[in-house]
């Protein structure tokens, strides 16, 4: 039913209206506690165990603000959140959704290993019948997309190099997580934040290997509880530095 509703909304609304409507549906559902154990939303209910008041947090791939708004609330007046979102039409809705969050800076970039203008794409209209808001990817050689966007890429190590601490990072970037985390490795080594990453395929093994080398333990959620990462799991991964356990 959720997929059918998205298709209908995408057909009858302009893109901005569609994005605003689906984000409003999420925030309402979350307030009502709907999706607490659903794979797509369960981690949003776990955020208060991944960060705390006063934290400095980074949301890489902030999308419509599902995590960033909750992160802002947890961080509070003594904390701060950087929400990184490169796709302009999505970012416009993100700005509206975070308009009441005075402790959030929105950064209009894609993170990567280079700097300059890039192309990003989304292929979900053809495959799913509607615009999948969290499935925008960096266009590389041979990539195909239904919709393309121009964006600016920045190095995370440079963009956040002025910070004196990083307590929590959430990263959901459709296959670019290895590039970003490898490039930000100096910051991971220096600040040792807790990290939540959406990853899959070959990237999953590479991400786990990277964080294992950095001295992190890996966990996933099972009915709201963290359990050690198991072989074959496809869920988002929570990486905690060993010294924090």
pLDDT, mean of residues 171-193: 96
Residues 42, 46, 52, CA angle at the centre, nearest 5°? 155
**Average model confidence (pLDDT) for the chain?**
93
pLDDT, mean of residues 213-238: 96
pLDDT of residue 75: 98
* Domain boundaries, position 38: 3-241
Residue range 49-95, pLDDT digits in tens:
999 999 999 999 999 999 999 999 999 999 999 999 999 999 999 99
CATH of the domain at 58: 3.40.50.150
pLDDT band at 245 (very low <50, low <70, confident <90, very high): very low
pLDDT of residue 127: 80
Number of domains in the chain: 1
Nearest residue to 54 via CA among 84, 81, 23? 81
Residue range 114-131, pLDDT digits in tens:
999 998 888 888 888 888
pLDDT, mean of residues 132-146: 80
Give yes or no for residue 147 having a pLDDT over 90.
Answer: no
Residue range 187-214, pLDDT digits in tens:
999 999 999 999 999 999 999 999 999 9
State the pTM of this model: 0.94
Q: In sequence order, what are the residues at sequence separation of 6 or more whose Cβ sits closer than 8 angstroms to the Cβ of residue 13?
A: 21
């Amino acid at each position: 039913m959720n997929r059918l509703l998205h298709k209908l909304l995408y057909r009858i609304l302009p893109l901005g209206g569609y994005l605003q409507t689906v984000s409003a549906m999420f925030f309402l559902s979350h307030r009502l506690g709907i999706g607490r154990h659903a794979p797509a939303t369960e981690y949003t209910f776990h955020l208060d165990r991944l960060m705390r008041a006063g934290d400095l947090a980074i949301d890489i791939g902030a999308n419509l603000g599902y995590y960033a708004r909750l992160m802002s609330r947890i961080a509070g007046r003594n904390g701060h959140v950087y929400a990184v979102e490169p796709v302009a039409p999505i970012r416009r809705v993100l700005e509206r959704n975070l308009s009441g969050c005075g402790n959030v800076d929105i950064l209009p970039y894609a993170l990567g290993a280079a700097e300059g203008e890039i192309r990003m794409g989304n292929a979900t209209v053809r495959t799913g019948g509607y615009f999948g808001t969290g499935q925008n990817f960096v266009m590389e050689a041979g990539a195909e997309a239904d919709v393309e966007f121009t964006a600016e890429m920045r190095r995370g190590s440079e963009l956040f190099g002025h910070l004196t601490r990083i307590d929590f990072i959430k990263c959901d970037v459709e296959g670019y997580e290895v590039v970003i985390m490898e490039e930000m490795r100096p910051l991971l080594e220096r600040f040792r934040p807790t990290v939540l990453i959406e990853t899959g395929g070959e990237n999953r093994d590479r991400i786990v290997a990277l964080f294992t080398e950095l001295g992190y333990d890996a966990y996933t959620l099972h009915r709201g509880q963290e359990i050690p990462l198991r072989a074959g799991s496809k869920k988002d991964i929570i990486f905690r530095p060993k010294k924090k356990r």
